[in-house]
Amino acid sequence: MRSLAQMAVPGGVAGWGFFTYDRPMGSTGMHCFGDTDIELTGAQVNTVAVVLGLGLDTIPIDSLTGVLQDLYVNKGDPTGKARWKPLRMGKQGFELHIGDRTLLTQPLDITSKGFENTLAVRWEDYRQHKIAGTPLERLRKWNGRDMQTFYGRMGDDLMQFLVPPEHQADGWQKPATTITDNFNRANGELGANWTDDEGDADVVSNQYNPTTSQVVSRYSGTSLSSDDHYTQIKVATYVSNVSGPIQRKTASGTLTYYAAVVIATTDLRSYKRIGGTITNLQTDSFTFVNGDIIKGEVNDSTLKKFQNGGQIGTNLTDTSITGNLQCGIVANRGDTFLDDFECADLAAAAAAQFIMID
């Protein structure tokens, strides 16, 4: 429940969050709301409001689920500058997950407050893309994809809803894009379609190999058509530390993205990185062997992670990173080798563009 600026402070204590645990935490300085979804008292609700900077009596007295719904639907900031971003709707509407519980579901409804939030966030993201100089073709594919997702069709008349007024002449085109790379080429730099935003990685023996202790490689040859997408990579040889695919990567050196990564062969972790600062979102125990395919997926505000096609852990809610259309890889250690990179939109259009590097 923090602003983007607060999330970007490494080791910072600014801001608050809601956490679930499998046992009582005792005296920790946290505010405990119990182990059931009972109606909160006025004092409890006002405590939430005050610590989040909303003021007294700004949140209706309700259960914890109701309070979280109000915070994520009615109190979010589409820019992420003043506070957390609101829940967004995707093809299936939206969900709110806390720990292993789904607290809230709402189907796609273009007349709802949730959809109003979705468009507000999209307008802000679109303006940021224009400032950053994102190529028009990438934005047009994004516009076409979201027309299909939200309205079931594509057309010039829908631009007024999806794009800020000053950019409605940008137009749209049919999505989608699937990107693959098997790294089957001569040893050396990754190639023109890749950018190392942090550290350095090369092609070694037809595989992706980090040559520095921390690498973030972004596929920069093209963008996906949507920020609802998946990325997967085969972890061919793994020793320790961090390796895995990243989603919703910024199209620049700014280190902002989601990741699904192997940690020390025993944990599969989801984390977000805002301006270079990592926040762990979810860690689940699993058994890793060399050759496993690790996949991260993000759909509206719901994140998932997979091992060889099977989901590990529960669905996860995070609203922080939106509108980023690129994907990539994060890796450590020179004795790690990755292969068979793939990323694609979750809701592909009928007319698809397929890009393969061989």
Other Cβ atoms less than 10 A from the Cβ of 213: the count is 11
Look up the pTM and report it. 0.89
| pLDDT tens readout for residues 46-101 | 999 999 999 899 999 999 889 999 999 999 999 999 999 999 998 888 888 887 78
Share of the chain above pLDDT 90, in %: 71
Whether 33 has a pLDDT exceeding 50, the answer reads yes
CATH of 177-357, one of 1.10.10.410, 2.60.120.560, 1.25.40.10, 2.60.40.10: 2.60.120.560
Other Cβ atoms less than 10 A from the Cβ of 70: the count is 18
Between these two residues, 54 and 21, which has the higher pLDDT value? 54
Residue 353, pLDDT score:
45
Residue 181 pairs with which residues in a beta bridge?
341, 357
Report whether 295 contacts 306 (CB < 8 A): yes
Whether 188 has a pLDDT exceeding 90, the answer reads yes
Residue 197, pLDDT score:
94
How buried is 187 (Cβ within 10 angstroms: 0-12 exposed, 13-18 middle, 19+ buried)?
exposed
Ranges of each domain in the chain: 1-84, 177-357
Whether 350 has a pLDDT exceeding 60, the answer reads no
Task: Name the average pLDDT for the chain.
Answer: 90
Residue 28: pLDDT band with limits 50, 70, 90: confident
Instruction: With residue 292 as reference, give the H or E element that holds it.
Output: strand 292-299
Residue 330, pLDDT score:
95
Report whether 31 contacts 47 (CB < 8 A): yes
How buried is 41 (Cβ within 10 angstroms: 0-12 exposed, 13-18 middle, 19+ buried)?
exposed
State the Cα–Cα distance between residues 32 and 18, nearest whole angstrom: 10
State the Cα–Cα distance between residues 168 and 181, nearest whole angstrom: 34
Residue 158, pLDDT score:
96
Residue 357, pLDDT score:
52
- Name 21's Cβ contacts closer than 8 Å, sequence gap at least 6: none
State the Cα–Cα distance between residues 69 and 71, nearest whole angstrom: 5
| pLDDT tens readout for residues 315-346 | 999 999 999 999 999 998 878 999 999 999 98
Give residue for tokens 């790294």: 183
| Lowest model confidence (mean pLDDT) among 38-42, 139-143, 268-272 | 38-42
Residue 12, pLDDT score:
63
